[in-house]
Amino acid sequence: MPHPIRPGATLGLLGGGQLGRMFALAARRMGYRVHALDPGEDCPAGQVADLEVRADYGDAGAAREMAKGVAVMTVEFENIAAATLEAVAEMCPMHPGASVLHTVQHRLREKRFLEAKGFPVTSFREINTEADLRKAASDLGLPAILKTASFGYDGKGQQKLDASTDLAAAFAALKGTQGILEAFAPFEREVSVIAARSSTGKTCAWDVAENDHANHILDTTIFPARVPAQVAEEARRMAERIAEALGMVGVLCVEFFVLPGGKLLVNEIAPRPHNSGHATMDACVTSQFEQQVRAVCGLPLGDTRLHRPAAMANLLGDLWPGSGEPPWEKLLAFPEVKLHLYGKSEARQGRKMGHLTALADTPEEALARVIAARAALRS
């Protein structure tokens, strides 16, 4: 059994966005120091870290130098160059490992991995040419979803194709990158499970979250999801099994489609904390960020129990007026709502600037609270 990395040590973080910020806050509360690498200046994680290293994610030399001064390195997002990950691994433990990130940072590799391990996924085809796309559309039928195989998130690089779609134009929109065509899943709802796996092989999962999107970006999450108990338990078990199959050390999110009758299809994996797990910060005994610290440091995993039903609503840059900050006092007039801001200096349309959480007796009541509080910013 590896020796645990105890509080007082320094943890390294590749990525300086909001997920890194919340990881750093959890780590510092537990007594750790944090060094964060990010290409931007005054990044969200850098504002609360002990050291902010400004470097590109492809700068293997900078990552290697930072890794010399930390006990373990983790990530806040998966799209990091292999050379950088290899450089870090020469200097210190890296969790999750390069093999995990290699698998999940590419949609075709991820789908093939899941399929090979027996997990249910939508039918899919590899797209390298326009002829590939035409044949795949014929094989899978339309509607279907065309995605870039890599570097896609929040709906970026995705197109829904139907019988009226110009396939030549759809292929051209890939701009020379490899694509994947996925059969359309007639789902009733989208849910996700945050799960953790420690370096000792222990796994655990939180309750299932139910997600609603607007313009391909997560808008709200309720916790727990409104699904039958047996569906929830299957989703939790499947997420833990995926963590085991990957050899994951850390926290991951598994997104599912729930089909009529309760059948689950795995949509995507994120090998890190996830937007749909933010309610764990206020609603659970252990948050997804504290759990990430525990897992990568080889400590016992924390209790994932839910205190009360909860909801989360994202705050996007669209809410920021051209003249400055939103009227936060209107939102904070809702005493049961918690405000989490990420420290981003520039608000842009569609950019995640913060989120709200609320607890209540039912998920629906919690959802109504965060929606009402968010709406007050526009009044």
pLDDT at 40 over 80: yes
Q: Is residue 5 part of a domain?
A: no
CA dist., res. 252 & res. 232, Å (int): 17
Mean pLDDT of 16-39: 98
8 A C-beta contact, residue 310 and residue 357: yes
**Domain containing 14 — which CATH number?**
3.40.50.20
Domain stops at, among 94, 115, 136: 94
Same-domain check for residues 130 and 202: no
Q: Is residue 286 part of a domain?
A: yes
pLDDT, residue 146, reads 97
Q: Which residues contact 330 (CB under 8 A, 6 or more apart)?
A: 376, 377, 379
Mean pLDDT of 153-176: 89
Domain stops at, among 73, 94, 115: 94
Q: Is residue 341 part of a domain?
A: yes
Confidence class for position 1, pLDDT limits 50, 70, 90: low
**Domain containing 347 — which CATH number?**
3.30.470.20
Same-domain check for residues 27 and 167: no
Q: Is residue 209 part of a domain?
A: yes
pLDDT, residue 3, reads 87
Same-domain check for residues 14 and 145: no
The count of structural domains within the chain is: 3
Q: Is residue 108 part of a domain?
A: no
Same-domain check for residues 50 and 146: no
Same-domain check for residues 145 and 213: no
Same-domain check for residues 209 and 348: yes
User: Which pTM value belongs to this model?
Assistant: 0.96
**Domain containing 160 — which CATH number?**
3.30.1490.20
Burial (Cβ within 10 Å: 0-12, 13-18, ≥19) of residue 330? middle
Residue 335: asked if its preceding bond is cis (omega within 30°), the reply is no
Which is more confidently placed, 86 or 156? 86
Same-domain check for residues 176 and 276: no
What is the residue range of 30's domain? 10-94
State how beta strands 217-223 and 209-214 pair: antiparallel
Confidence class for position 153, pLDDT limits 50, 70, 90: low
Same-domain check for residues 179 and 201: no
Same-domain check for residues 251 and 198: yes
Q: Is residue 362 part of a domain?
A: yes
Domain stops at, among 183, 206, 227: 183
Same-domain check for residues 271 and 327: yes
Same-domain check for residues 357 and 251: yes
Q: Is residue 99 part of a domain?
A: no
Residue 4: asked if its preceding bond is cis (omega within 30°), the reply is no
SS3 per-residue string spanning the chain: CCCCCCECEEEEEECCCHHHHHHHHHHHHCCCEEEEEECCCCCCCCCCCCEEEECCCCCHHHHHHHHCCCCEEEECCCCCCHHHHHHHHHHCCECCCHHHHHHHCEHHHHHHHHHHCCCCECCEEEECCHHHHHHHHHHHCCCEEEEECECCCCCCCEEEECCCCCHHHHHHCCCCCCEEEEECCCCCEEEEEEEEECCCCCEEECCCEEEEEECCEEEEEEECCCCCHHHHHHHHHHHHHHHHHHCCCEEEEEEEEECCCCCEEEEEEECCCCHHHCCHHHHECCCHHHHHHHHHCCCCCCCCCECCCEEEEEEEHHHCCCCCCCCHHHHCCCCCEEEEECCCCCCCCCCEEEEEEEECCCHHHHHHHHHHHHHHCCC
pLDDT at 355 over 90: yes
How do residues 254-298 score in pLDDT, each as one tens digit? 999 999 999 999 999 999 999 999 999 999 999 999 999 999 999
pLDDT, residue 23, reads 98
Q: What is the dihedral of CA 254, 257, 259, 261, to 10 degrees?
A: 30
Mean pLDDT of 340-348: 95
Q: Which residues contact 271 (CB under 8 A, 6 or more apart)?
A: 75, 78, 96, 100, 101, 104, 246, 248, 250, 252
160-184 burial code (b ≥16 CB/10 A, e <16): ebeeebeeeebbeebeeeebbbbbb
Identify the weakest region by mean pLDDT among 46-55, 156-165, 239-248. 156-165
State how beta strands 10-14 and 72-75 pair: parallel
The whole-chain average pLDDT of the chain stands at 96
Same-domain check for residues 174 and 196: no
pLDDT, residue 154, reads 59
pLDDT at 155 over 80: no
How do residues 290-342 score in pLDDT, each as one tens digit? 999 999 999 999 999 999 999 999 999 999 988 789 999 999 999 999 999 99
Which is more confidently placed, 254 or 41? 254
Mean pLDDT of 118-145: 97
Q: Is residue 101 part of a domain?
A: no
